[in-house]
Structure 1
């Protein structure tokens, strides 16, 4: 199976530390060698890097690890192919436009016998079940809200209904963002950690690398990091219960529906690192 990494913050933040550990799982500390990708929202734009190769061996992934691209929302993926050949068009995350905004999606799991009916507005370029699911999600949202984007609560309710429908076909862990909210759906396993003052000295599980976030943050900064499995070995990661669609906004889990957790206080700040 693949692995997911997401970040949602209250100020533009780089993901260099977390990506260093995540990248190692793409062929060094784990067997996900069939592609990698990462997407950074920057204002209304999205900067996307994709490669159909192991992230641990990729000079581009090394560039991303070293270059502090700051963003409020980031989605990354390392691939272990289950459906679709190892080609660029099958590499996550996927990107589409809806309601004048870019949407980014990445999936971990396997959907069996999944052949959704699509209107034609959103069509897959590759041959993965994941991209088909993404097109189905956006197609269903566009048909339900044809004129304008819904409220966050309406969007959450619609996404949860669609996720339950798709999830009947198999394992369906995913991350989805429009650059404002980040939605994390747990079918089997997803975890998250909230980094805020007082910040920890975090140590990666996959590399002997630690960072004292107090040296690179302000007391008002807050960052949510979501992953398939914990990236650090000295922080308390919270599990997202299976069957939950959890929304994150400004670095905190927010309650938009019955299965969401309670939001933390919202703050402001400068540019930390995660």
Structure 2
């Protein structure tokens, strides 16, 4: 299945070390890649239906000096929908005057919800249908712009309905928080002072975060499988929803 990467931080942060670790797994997950960076209320969104190993766009992203406090990335191994740009994660929609970004790892079988005109999928994936349904249900549940706590409560009520159709590991962000739901495989890590040297799991590449951060920095990384080999990654429990704000895990 696909691979997910999310980052949430209390200050704009470079995610390229983690993205390199994710892209190294693109030999198996070769059906497209995408990454979205929030900058305030704005969004930089890059997708390509070619593998992150060979895509010139992926190479440009690696060299692009983007720092963000909320990032979602994805490499695709197609299960539903052809290999095409419109089926490439992450997907984006607008709700309450904010961009929302979503990426999914899994397979939802026979998931065909009724969707109204405001949220319709462009492609053929179960993932985009699930995203449109989530946006529709959030809009129905809240008349005014809800708080992060209210959104988390509503999402916690919606997750079991999607789990009933199959595997649903997902990342969701509106630039204010990062929600992560683990159905089968998802892990998270919180980095904070004192920072040190870290080594990638799948490549002989390391970085000394102590030289790049301050003692006030906090960063949370979420990934399908641990990206580094010398940090305390924590596995999600099946059906667990977590929300990260300012680089910290908040109580759901």
Any stretches of 5+ residues in structure 1 without a counterpart? 257-274
Alignment partner, residue 240 of structure 2:
244
In the TM superposition, structure 1's runs of 4+ consecutive aligned residues that sit over 3 Å from their partners are none
> How many Å separate the matches in 2 of 1:203 and 1:65?
18
Query: Does structure 2 retain, via aligned residues, the 8 Å contact 1:37–1:51?
Result: yes
Deviation track 1:33-69 (CA, whole Å, cap 9, x = no partner) reads 0000000001111100000011011121122122220
1:220 and 2:248 correspond: no
1:13 and 2:10 correspond: no
1:84 and 2:81 correspond: yes
> How many Å separate the matches in 2 of 1:203 and 1:67?
22
> How many Å separate the matches in 1 of 2:116 and 2:57?
36
Alignment of 1:1-274 (within 5 A): 1-27=1-27, 31-146=28-143, 148-256=144-252
Q: Which has the higher strand share?
A: 2
What displacement does 1:152 show? 1.7
Deviation track 1:179-235 (CA, whole Å, cap 9, x = no partner) reads 001000000111011111111210001211000100011111111010000000111
Does the residue aligned with 1:245 lie in a helix, a strand or coil? strand
The count of aligned residue pairs is 252
> How many Å separate the matches in 2 of 1:111 and 1:97?
23
Deviation track 1:120-143 (CA, whole Å, cap 9, x = no partner) reads 210000000000000000000111
Root-mean-square deviation (Å): 0.8
Segment of structure 1 superposing worse, 189-198 or 84-93? 189-198
Any stretches of 5+ residues in structure 2 without a counterpart? none
> How many Å separate the matches in 1 of 2:158 and 2:71?
23
Query: Does structure 2 retain, via aligned residues, the 8 Å contact 1:15–1:68?
Result: no
